[in-house]
Amino acid sequence: MVEPLDQPAATRRTRIVAVLTCFNRKALTLACLEALTCTAGRAGAELEVILVDDASPDGTAAAVRERFPWVAVIAGSGSLFWNRGMHQGFALALERPADFYLWLNDDTHLVPDALRSLLAQAAALRHSHRSPVIVVGATAERDSGRVSYGGRVAGSRWRPFNYHLVHDPARPVPCEAIEGNCVLIPHDAAMRVGNLDPVFEHAMGDTDYGLRARRLGVPAYVAAGVVGHCSPNPLGGSYFDTSLPLARRWKLIRGRKGLPVRSWLHFCRRHGGAAWPLHFAWPYAKVLLTSVRAAMPGRRPAAAATVRPH
């Protein structure tokens, strides 16, 4: 039974509606939900989960329904990818009564005190700002402890989309761009900003959301500490990999997991200012230039790094 949100805070538990999307990694999805259930219990929160399964052929949906029958599993079309899957799930979440909405990647394994820490920092930030604040949970690689995802800031005004991670183990720090691996959004902030923009196919939707929120007066902070573990996506085999043939890199950058033209154009026009055509053209030009350079006699292709694609 859902407790009315107009009750005094002392008489009810904090209600969180979590949104996830998944495709074909059953073991990770189940482990993620197990850890989420644990941390919600530790925080004393009332938890509802909406999981959009994008037609996983490995039986993820059935496994989730069996182990977590209280999770709402939504069947995707098989072509949603991350952003459009999250858009579909978040649309349903926004119809539910909640104090907070939680975005969570299904490959993120939260530590037991993750939600308790995020909720406490959200309350402190709201008190200091006298307004709602989006709180981004930083994740780390399990073996090295190096921060893998969280919040980012632009390196310079001349390269506004060249974001780098920010994090402090002892205090929350402001950020501009958010990564959707673990994001706690207060209800009133979500009502102001709205849903993810479905124009984005896979990536960019979380970055766009943080920038839109900032423009609407809703700041975002990266929480102190680390809320969980998540390995970064290796970029070997992606359009960043200069050891690949130019034709392959050109196909990858225009694919859904790269910088599909329509999505990237929309992002640049919305956030790139007067110089947006230059920002739009640069990644495509860079693929051409770096491939030509790598093909020059005597040059070795650079090893692919492991960083955020955008």
Please say whether the beta carbons of 270 and 290 come within 8 A. no
What gap in Å lies between CA 95 and CA 98, rounded to an integer? 9
In angstroms and rounded to an integer, the radius of gyration of the C-alpha atoms of the chain is: 20
Query: Domain extents for the chain?
Result: 9-229, 235-310
- From first to last of the 310 residues of the chain, give the pLDDT tens digit: 233 354 444 557 999 999 999 999 999 999 999 999 999 999 999 999 999 999 999 999 999 999 999 999 999 999 999 999 999 999 999 999 999 999 999 999 999 999 999 999 999 999 999 999 999 999 999 999 999 999 999 988 888 999 999 999 999 999 999 999 999 999 999 999 999 999 999 999 999 999 999 999 999 999 999 999 999 988 899 999 999 999 999 999 999 999 999 999 999 999 999 999 999 999 999 999 999 998 887 655 444 333 333 3
Give the CB-side neighbour count of residue 75, counting CA atoms within 13 A. Answer: 4
Residues 14 and 44 sit within 8 Å (Cβ to Cβ): yes
Choose the CATH number for 9-229 among 3.90.550.60, 3.40.50.970, 3.30.70.980, 2.40.50.140.
Answer: 3.90.550.60
Which two tokens mark 92? 């349903």
From CA 38, how far away is CA 45, in angstroms rounded?
Answer: 10
Q: Which residue has the tokens 């893998």?
A: 148
Give pTM, 2 decimals: 0.92
Q: Which residue has the tokens 């890199």?
A: 249
DSSP assignment string, 83-132: HHHHHHHHHHHTTS--SEEEEE-TT-EE-TTHHHHHHHHHHHHHHHHTS-
d(CA 76, CA 85): 7
